[in-house]
Structures are given as structure tokens and as C-alpha cells.
Amino acid sequence: MRPDPVLGEGFSTHRIRLGADDEGSLIATLLHRDLPPGTAYRDLPGVPILVLHGWSDYVFDRELLEHLGHAGHDVWGLDLRKHGRSLLPGQTPTDVDHLSRYDAELDAALRIIGRDRPPVILAHSTGGLTATLFALRRPGAVRGLALNSPWLEMHLGPAARALVEAPVRILARHLGSRPVLPVGSLHYARTTHREYGGAFEYDLELKPPGGHRFPADTLRAVIDGQRRLEASGPLAIPVLVMHSDRSRIGPVFHESMRRADTVLDVHSLARAARKLGPRVQVEAIPGARHDVFLSDADARARALSILDAWLAERAADAPTMDPTGSPHPGEEADDEPAAC
């Protein structure tokens, strides 16, 4: 591994090669918080944690990573293909035709972390949907899921998703990686980034204020993933879902958006979350933003407290890593998308 150019001292990265598509080579980037000198994995009291970002995003929250590390966890992060550190020149940001494509980099990351050390995946937004589908396809591969405002369902629920699914499929067939949605509003950046009046710092090229333009392929992949999730069986592993207690979505910015989710419908995602399995804990955090860890101090502290308690109480029992069903390192997902 080599020093991480984004977070700097104390963090290293490993490039995962994933073959190529029609835009050229594909890579993912595995991030690791370096262990203190003389420390071995077996000396850590906490479980391994793999942090996964959302759409048009990357792993950057050093304070969160350090918090988890100081709590005794072995901390990793993964920038998926065509996101953040893994976006190469000439590639369409965030473009993917099926969420199962990400299984290749997730499988590779878990092998590097260690087959006998299944982690908790701490995943945000679209990453939460990706991680949940992965856990359904790979029983025993992860210890648990901690989901931060996961995009498990469309606004207004399954009926709205079903209404748009066929038109989006047609658009994706004709447009492919070309955008189907425009760049979004600056509302979320206004509540989070220092340049826009927020309290946090992140790279506005890797995580643009209004997001990248949404590829038709990617929107189809998300809607397909949500449909597959609704039709799937329950997860046996423990699952924590954290989200804001309210949504404030609209074309005009209001100060109330600083303490709400301005991206997703929290009621739809909470209803979907409760169906994930028998060991699901759903927490609505007053005043939280779409990324609960990029919230004001009180909501952020509440989210960290809930996460710490859940990791200690619910995610302690490690399942056996499933030795089957994982492709070799660097191998791409099957040409035919995997069923969930």
C-alpha cells in the first residue's frame, strides 16, 4: 500500500485493478487507516469496518475514520470504480450498468482485509443499497451493515418506482452513460461545505456541489437494485439504519434544510429499512443531514453514539466467511447481472 494523497499521513491506499470497459481501464481504491507501530490486528478490541461512500462521492471524513480507529477498530474505506480516487481521465463519473458490478471490488477488498475477519460495512446513501445487495448475494461475507441514510427506495415508495422503471429502462437503453438528470441544486453543499457556509471540507471536484450529471445507466441500476431488494429475502446479519428525522426537499433553499435530509425521502427509506430482516435497528436522528456524520455537532454526536453502541452490542459475533461465490482478485462481475 502507498500513502493516501487525499487524507495524507496515517492513511494508505491500494489500487484494485478491475479489467476494462468501453471507456478503458477500471480501478477501485482501498483505503486503510494505518495501525500504530507494533500493533497487530489481533490486538485491536473492535471489529474491522469498511466505509463505503454514496453516489457522486468518495471516502473523505477523516474525523469519522479516526473516531472509529480510536475506538479500537481496524478501519478501511473503498472508493468504487469511477468515483473519487478511482475516477480515471476520460471516464463518465459514477457510470455503472448494474450494482452487482461492484461485487468485484468489494470481494477484492474483503480478501485484502482477510477472509477470517469479515467487517461491518458502514455505507452511505447509494452505497447503502449497494452494500445491502452485496450482503444478500454473499451470505457470511460481512459481519453486519451500518447504513447511513441508505437509498433503499425511491421518493414516495414502490409505487412511484414502478411508475418510472420502464421509462428509465428505455432511456438507459438509448442513452447508456449519457446523463438523464441534470446537475442537482446546491442545497446540500450549502449545509455542509465551508465554501458554501457549512462546517466541513471536501474536494469539490471529487464530490461536486450539485453532484455529477446522473448517467442513464446508473439511474436504471439503482432502480433495478431497489426492485431486487424489495423482492429479496431477509438478512440474517445485524443491520443499523440511521437517518434524519425529516426531509426538506425543494427548489428554493430554506434555513430548515440545514437540519434535514435534502436528498432523500426519509419516510420511504425507513419503511424499506424495517423490512431488511429480523435484526434491524432503525434510528431517526433529530437535526441530521443526508450524511448523518456531516451534521451539526449535536446530531453528529448522537449518530456516533448510536453507532458505537451498536458496534459493541450487536455486531460482536462474527459469522464464518463464505469461501464460495467470490471471484478472483480483479475479476469483473458477470456479463449477466447477478440475481439478488
Q: How far apart are CA 137 and CA 29, in angstroms?
A: 22
pLDDT for the residue numbered 317:
61
Q: Which structural domain, as residue segments, surrounds residue 271?
A: 2-313
Residue 168: give its domain's CATH number: 3.40.50.1820
Please, are residues 260 and 242 in contact by the beta-carbon 8 Å criterion?
no
pLDDT for the residue numbered 184:
86
pLDDT for the residue numbered 82:
98
pLDDT for the residue numbered 182:
80
pTM for this structure? 0.92
Please name which of 179, 148, 136 lies closest in space to residue 263, comparing C-alpha atoms.
Answer: 148
* Phi and psi torsions of 162, nearest 5°: -60, -35
336 within some domain: no
59 within some domain: yes
325 within some domain: no
319 within some domain: no
Mean pLDDT, consecutive 10-residue stretches, the chain (340 aa), reads: 93 98 97 94 94 98 98 97 98 97 98 95 98 97 98 91 93 93 89 94 96 95 97 96 97 96 96 96 98 98 98 72 39 35
Q: How far apart are CA 22 and CA 28, in angstroms?
A: 17
pLDDT for the residue numbered 181:
84
330 within some domain: no
Q: How far apart are CA 217 and CA 5, in angstroms?
A: 30
The CA-based diameter of the chain, rounded to the nearest angstrom, is 57
326 within some domain: no
CB-based contacts of 41, cutoff 8 Å, min separation 6: 35, 48, 74, 114, 117
278 within some domain: yes
- Domain count along the chain: 1
328 within some domain: no
